[in-house]
Amino acid sequence: MANVTLTEPAATLEQLQAQLAELCTRLEVLEKREAGGKGAGVAASVPVQAAAAEPRPVPAAPAASGIAEEELLAISAAIGAYLGVRAHIRQIRLLSTTAWAQQGRVSIQASHRLG
Protein backbone atom coordinates (compact mmCIF):
# COMPACT_ATOMS: atom_id res chain seq x y z
CA MET A 1 0.00 0.00 0.00
CA ALA A 2 1.19 3.49 -0.79
CA ASN A 3 1.68 5.95 2.02
CA VAL A 4 -0.53 9.01 1.81
CA THR A 5 0.82 12.21 3.27
CA LEU A 6 -1.23 15.09 4.55
CA THR A 7 0.44 17.57 2.21
CA GLU A 8 -1.30 16.23 -0.92
CA PRO A 9 -4.89 16.62 0.35
CA ALA A 10 -3.96 19.94 1.99
CA ALA A 11 -2.62 21.30 -1.30
CA THR A 12 -5.72 20.11 -3.14
CA LEU A 13 -7.93 21.71 -0.49
CA GLU A 14 -6.07 25.01 -0.83
CA GLN A 15 -6.53 24.93 -4.62
CA LEU A 16 -10.24 24.24 -4.24
CA GLN A 17 -10.61 27.06 -1.72
CA ALA A 18 -8.83 29.46 -4.09
CA GLN A 19 -11.10 28.42 -6.97
CA LEU A 20 -14.16 28.82 -4.77
CA ALA A 21 -13.06 32.31 -3.73
CA GLU A 22 -12.56 33.26 -7.39
CA LEU A 23 -15.99 31.90 -8.32
CA CYS A 24 -17.60 33.80 -5.45
CA THR A 25 -15.95 37.01 -6.65
CA ARG A 26 -17.15 36.43 -10.21
CA LEU A 27 -20.65 35.65 -8.96
CA GLU A 28 -20.75 38.90 -7.00
CA VAL A 29 -19.70 40.81 -10.12
CA LEU A 30 -22.41 39.14 -12.19
CA GLU A 31 -25.03 39.81 -9.53
CA LYS A 32 -24.02 43.48 -9.39
CA ARG A 33 -24.26 43.72 -13.18
CA GLU A 34 -27.68 42.11 -13.13
CA ALA A 35 -28.86 44.40 -10.34
CA GLY A 36 -28.20 47.58 -12.26
CA GLY A 37 -25.03 47.54 -14.29
CA LYS A 38 -22.95 48.96 -11.43
CA GLY A 39 -20.48 46.06 -11.46
CA ALA A 40 -19.11 46.71 -14.94
CA GLY A 41 -16.06 48.56 -13.57
CA VAL A 42 -15.42 45.82 -11.03
CA ALA A 43 -15.08 43.14 -13.71
CA ALA A 44 -11.75 44.54 -14.86
CA SER A 45 -10.28 44.15 -11.38
CA VAL A 46 -11.26 40.49 -10.98
CA PRO A 47 -8.13 38.32 -11.22
CA VAL A 48 -8.17 35.85 -14.06
CA GLN A 49 -6.20 32.64 -13.68
CA ALA A 50 -4.66 30.40 -16.33
CA ALA A 51 -7.99 28.60 -16.78
CA ALA A 52 -9.29 31.72 -18.51
CA ALA A 53 -6.89 31.02 -21.39
CA GLU A 54 -9.25 28.27 -22.51
CA PRO A 55 -11.99 29.52 -24.82
CA ARG A 56 -15.25 29.79 -22.95
CA PRO A 57 -18.41 28.77 -24.74
CA VAL A 58 -21.02 31.45 -25.03
CA PRO A 59 -24.23 30.29 -23.35
CA ALA A 60 -27.08 29.84 -25.74
CA ALA A 61 -29.99 32.23 -25.48
CA PRO A 62 -32.82 30.97 -23.27
CA ALA A 63 -35.35 29.00 -25.23
CA ALA A 64 -38.97 30.04 -25.55
CA SER A 65 -39.80 27.37 -22.98
CA GLY A 66 -38.61 29.71 -20.24
CA ILE A 67 -35.12 28.61 -19.19
CA ALA A 68 -33.69 31.57 -17.31
CA GLU A 69 -30.07 32.64 -17.69
CA GLU A 70 -29.38 31.74 -14.05
CA GLU A 71 -30.67 28.21 -14.67
CA LEU A 72 -28.52 27.91 -17.78
CA LEU A 73 -25.45 29.02 -15.82
CA ALA A 74 -26.25 26.56 -13.03
CA ILE A 75 -26.60 23.71 -15.53
CA SER A 76 -23.35 24.71 -17.20
CA ALA A 77 -21.53 24.85 -13.84
CA ALA A 78 -22.91 21.44 -12.84
CA ILE A 79 -21.77 19.88 -16.11
CA GLY A 80 -18.34 21.49 -15.73
CA ALA A 81 -18.01 20.22 -12.17
CA TYR A 82 -19.08 16.72 -13.17
CA LEU A 83 -16.87 16.42 -16.25
CA GLY A 84 -13.95 18.44 -14.93
CA VAL A 85 -13.76 20.49 -18.12
CA ARG A 86 -15.80 23.27 -19.64
CA ALA A 87 -18.39 21.79 -21.94
CA HIS A 88 -20.15 23.52 -24.80
CA ILE A 89 -23.91 23.32 -24.29
CA ARG A 90 -25.61 23.10 -27.64
CA GLN A 91 -29.18 22.46 -26.62
CA ILE A 92 -31.28 22.14 -23.50
CA ARG A 93 -34.72 20.65 -23.75
CA LEU A 94 -37.28 20.24 -21.05
CA LEU A 95 -38.72 16.75 -21.24
CA SER A 96 -41.92 15.75 -19.57
CA THR A 97 -41.65 12.11 -18.73
CA THR A 98 -42.81 9.90 -15.90
CA ALA A 99 -39.80 7.58 -16.06
CA TRP A 100 -38.36 8.76 -12.72
CA ALA A 101 -41.69 8.41 -10.95
CA GLN A 102 -42.28 5.00 -12.49
CA GLN A 103 -38.82 3.77 -11.50
CA GLY A 104 -39.41 5.01 -7.96
CA ARG A 105 -42.69 3.10 -7.73
CA VAL A 106 -41.02 -0.04 -9.08
CA SER A 107 -38.27 0.27 -6.49
CA ILE A 108 -40.73 0.72 -3.64
CA GLN A 109 -42.97 -2.10 -4.78
CA ALA A 110 -39.99 -4.42 -5.23
CA SER A 111 -38.92 -3.81 -1.63
CA HIS A 112 -42.19 -5.18 -0.24
CA ARG A 113 -42.37 -8.82 0.72
CA LEU A 114 -44.95 -10.77 -1.23
CA GLY A 115 -45.13 -13.89 0.80
DSSP 2-55: ----SHHHHHHHHHHHHHHHHHHHHHHHHHHHHHHSGGGTTGGGS---GGGGSP
CB count, 10 Å around CB of 76? Answer: 19
Average pLDDT score over residue span 26-42? 72
| Residue 2 in domain | no
Q: So what's the pLDDT on residue 63?
A: 47
Q: pLDDT > 90: what percent of the chain?
A: 3
pLDDT of 33 higher than 60: yes
88, 80 contact by CB (below 8 A)? no
Looking at every residue in the chain, the average pLDDT score rounds to 74
| Residue 98 in domain | yes
| Residue 48 in domain | yes
| Residue 58 in domain | yes
pLDDT of 9 higher than 50: yes
The residue type at 33:
R
Q: What's the number of domains the chain is made of?
A: 1
| Residue 1 in domain | no
Domain limits at 17?
7-111
